[in-house]
Structure 1
Amino acid sequence: MDTQQNTALTRALAEVPGPLPTSGVIHIAIPHTDRFTIVGNHLAQHPDLSCTAVGIAVRIQSLPQGVEVGIKALAARCREGEKRIAAALRELEAFGYLQRIRDRLPSGRFITRTVFCNQPTALLRPRRPAAPQHPSAPAPHPAPAEVPTSAPAQGQAPAQVPTSAPAQAPATAPAPPPEPDMPALPPVPPPPLLAAPPAPLYVPLVPPPTAPKPPPAPLPRPDEPTPELDRAATALLSDLRRHAPQLTLSETDIRHLVPGVAAWLERAAHPDAIRRILTTDLPHPLRHPAKLLKHRLTALLPPPLPGAHDLAAPARPRITVTPFQNCDGCNRVFRSPTPGHCRDCREHREHREHREHRSEDARTAA
């Protein structure tokens, strides 16, 4: 029995314009009339997003506002597990399609809002501000027409009203009574100025591919250049091709890199250590040896050697210890800078003197 053919598919293929390709996909594009979502090719064909992340992004984009799109909510809607959905959401967040914003409600409770942007690169483009409208010179508006008592039609001569109509004239409809003159309408106020477009809800964390790169760090230079440093740095750079043939430098490159090597030598770096750092783990193929040496001399510059006073241990603060004393009254030990009585003896002595003063005052008063 022959294989059953799909007549609808055959008819649709016959309507595809142009010759059909011999290999690859064949698109049958039927326009949608309802229940569809527009997805950009920047998302559908994203080179760095996984197919799971693209599918999750399309699912989120097709949902209405206010629907929960958390990990557990998406896991209940999709066949993927929570781990794959969490990894896909992290991918979308890294490329600016998704962002989680922590917001505070008027009641004081914090909530997390999930914002999805279908085209994050469009937020980085500068928006054109609305054209300002000056209220002093508003756009001209047509003046309201006054209702005339009798106005002839445009392009026609005014009709002559006879004083005595002949009897043979046909009967005409009576003219409407003249309306009173209406007062002029007040001028229409100019439209209000358009407000500036609101700021975007978020700024993608990933810079666009066309973002300007920061300028490279300058090549280090010695604080006190000397002929000896210059000579030693020139000899070290010229000798690199003996250890790595890829680092065969021109005289111009050597003169340009000499200050960087001199800065290393000024900081007491050993020539063998400098040579090992510059010649180890070279990329294959090495197309720009001078640029590689400049990067290593700049990024791996060691700090200056510390001085003798920097290596000395800091002096410990001197702690003053209060000595022990024996109380003159009860012979109890207590701490005090000077000998005398302890606290209890001093309080007992003050209390006794206070009672003696009170009794003496009572006798004097008697």
Structure 2
Amino acid sequence: MDTQHLSAPTRPQSLNPRGVTHINTPHTSHYTVVGNHLAQHRELSLTAIGLGLHIQSLPSGARVDIKTLAARFPEGETSVAAALRELEAHGYLARIRERLPNGRIVTHTVSYNQPAHRRSGHTTPTETEPASDRSTPKTPASKTPPAPPPTTSPEPEPTPAPPPPPSSSSSPSSSPPAEPEPAATPEPPLPEPRTPDLDRHRAATALLTTLHHHDPRLLLPERAVRRLAPAVAAWLERGAHPDAVRHALTANLPRDPLRHPAALLAHRLTECLPPLPPGPALRPHPLQTCDGCDRAFRSPHPGRCRDCRTNLPEVA
């Protein structure tokens, strides 16, 4: 009789006639600790609360963009985007945009299980609520009073400090000001033909409007064709064959989606511009008929040949 039977049914629990009855079973694995300040938030929608709980349960590195979440849940992209904006407005989510060295822009998503820590400047996404405070949703509020003082104390004063970085002698103990970022160098202008030629301009326009036959991503708008046509005409003026120009613009295109095909073509037309052809060779003087001996000789003007001019004084 002293043997404990684990399979024995538990004592039935009386149901609460006025509200929900909780039957809690302790979790030993695959669970997430979520604060009541999010689960019982009075300003967030049910979609935002559920999405916030889902994001906090995901491991680090999981994709939480709009398309991925819309494919996971029955809500559409519009509802998911609105819920993400709610979480971001209430401090449970932050989306940071960063430009990579190759010019591509990526978005980093940061999830906060304690929005009060984010407002006070302590970003500790791994910090969780103690088990004893799960049932009292007001405990996080009791911890918030010490956090705001840094934001209300002389913190706003350091913000005007960055404007006078040249006078470093006035604040020797302060950290050196950050070096200003170098100004972006302006892009070189597009090449233009030295002499206007309507036929050459028409050939350049036709070449640009048919580039999408080689790659559908190179379907250019009319405004881009007008801007790039003089550059293509400059190539044709320098002796480049239209097939050579087309090959220079369509060869070795990146495999990633082309977000700005006109900018790529403008870069290639500027950086790969062929050199000017050599100057025209000196043409020989035309043939003239000598007035004295009827012999042909080359001279810019008609008259006598060299022999007749040499013997002219002797004859006289």
TM-score normalized with structure 2 length: 0.35
Larger Rg computed on CA atoms: 1
TM-score normalized with structure 1 length: 0.30
